[in-house]
Amino acid sequence: MAKIGNEQGVGICHSNLVYVYLRNGEYAKSEASANLALRILKETDYEELYAATLLVKARLYMETDRWDRVNPMILEGLEIVKHLESGAYIQEGYELLARYYVHENDAEQVSLYYDSLHQSIENYFEKERLEISENLKARYETEKKEAQLTLQRAQNQSLTLENEAQRTQRNILLFLALVFVVLLVLMYNRFQLRKKLSAEQEARLEDQVKLPELEKGKKEAENDRLEEQVHHKQRELASLTLQMTQKNDALQELEQKIQKSLHGSKEFPKESVREILNLIGNQKTIDKAWNTFKAHFEQVHTSFFDKLRTKHPDLSQTEEKHSAYIRMGLSTKEIARLMNISPSSVQVARYRLKKKLGPGKNTDIYQYINSI
């Protein structure tokens, strides 16, 4: 990994501060940090973070009602991230452009950039699917070669060793079958998500193409409806983030079965399995992007965390997460899956959280958090 210089590190820090100040409503500080970060990142050729900072600054101008400066800034940032093929930032750029043209009452451009956003999401899923497929293929070839070598060694040994090699081969095939099933489940879930997003996109487009035909007196109501559709899209993205945690369940079950096979076979290639388990452990943390989830959550439940910290400043980040899941109305089992702990641990954590919040014995913690 390349070493980050002192000046570039300062630029990265100021870029992060732009998000913090914007979220806290400190717009002047946010803009100052954005200007300084853009200058440093441009001088140090950090293109991706430079483009990301441009997009955040465009969002700042939207928040402060300076729409005349928004469009060029988004287009500049979007051009850079397209060149770098930064999928998440491309999606953010298209979403900001759609929001801009909603403000400008330009239905054609809104439709265009929602199409682009939808295509960007599909490309992201397709790229991830291809990467999984390539990794699986390489893993299969490796395991196949190892199985062949094991079989060759077993032919030179006694009947007992030959039987042990056959059991090892069966375990490998079982593992590959389980991985294949997991891959099928993931592909099916992605297909259903794309189908759902496509249907919703088509429904929005049918409504938006009618905008030029509406009477002048209905424009304000129509603009409100488009704003609501933007918020609905944001809630759908937040829901997508939560659904991805279902992969943890499938991977957890797979991990347990491999552990069982590992302890049950003397000749099983333990080092290979440990490498596979490490990969599974890493995969389980991919979807724990708390900051991304938090941003989507606050778009639905505005200022929830600010209000919660104001009333209870001593809460830890884990307790804030638990409060957010309660605010969403999730069950104990669902919260356990999201936090990667057992349901009983969730109940203990909820009891401690209630004591910390102090709503009273007769007040349900769900009711209390929903009132914030």
Average pLDDT, integer, range 250-277: 67
Whether the per-residue pLDDT at 83 is higher than 90: the answer is: no
- How do residues 169-219 score in pLDDT, each as one tens digit? 888 989 888 988 988 888 888 888 888 888 888 777 776 666 566 566 677
Report if pTM > 0.95: no
According to the model, what pLDDT value does residue 1 have? 36
227: phi then psi, degrees, rounded to nearest 5: -60, -40
According to the model, what pLDDT value does residue 215 have? 67
Whether the per-residue pLDDT at 119 is higher than 80: the answer is: no
According to the model, what pLDDT value does residue 3 have? 41
Whether the per-residue pLDDT at 349 is higher than 90: the answer is: yes
- Name the nearest CA neighbour of 258 among 279, 242, 239, 244: 279
- How do residues 298-315 score in pLDDT, each as one tens digit? 877 788 899 999 999 999
Query: What topology does CATH give the domain 301-370?
Result: Arc Repressor Mutant, subunit A (1.10.10)
Reported for 13-21, long-range contacts at CB under 8 A and 24+ positions apart, including other chains, are 14/40, 15/41, 15/49, 15/52, 15/53, 15/56, 18/53, 18/56, 18/57, 18/60, 19/56
Whether the per-residue pLDDT at 365 is higher than 80: the answer is: yes
Average pLDDT, integer, range 51-79: 90
**Domain residue extents for the chain:** 6-114, 122-283, 301-370
Options 3.40.50.360, 3.40.50.720, 2.60.40.2380, 1.25.40.10; which CATH number does 6-114 get? 1.25.40.10
- Name the nearest CA neighbour of 97 among 83, 85, 79: 79
What is the torsional sign of CA 310, 313, 317, 322? negative
Average pLDDT, integer, range 47-76: 90
**Higher pLDDT among residues 140 and 142, named by residue:** 142
Most confident segment among 130-139, 235-244, 279-288, 294-303: 294-303
- How do residues 98-109 score in pLDDT, each as one tens digit? 888 888 888 887
Task: Give the rounded distance of the alpha carbon of 6 from its chain centre.
Answer: 30
Q: What's the chain's average pLDDT? A: 79
Those residues with Cβ within 8 angstroms of residue 248's Cβ, 6 or more apart along the chain or in another chain: 284, 287, 337, 340
- Specify the DSSP element, H or E, that contains 119: helix 107-155
**Higher pLDDT among residues 162 and 81, named by residue:** 81
Whether the per-residue pLDDT at 274 is higher than 60: the answer is: yes
Most confident segment among 97-106, 218-227, 348-357: 348-357
Say how far apart CA 78 and CA 86 lie, in whole Å: 10
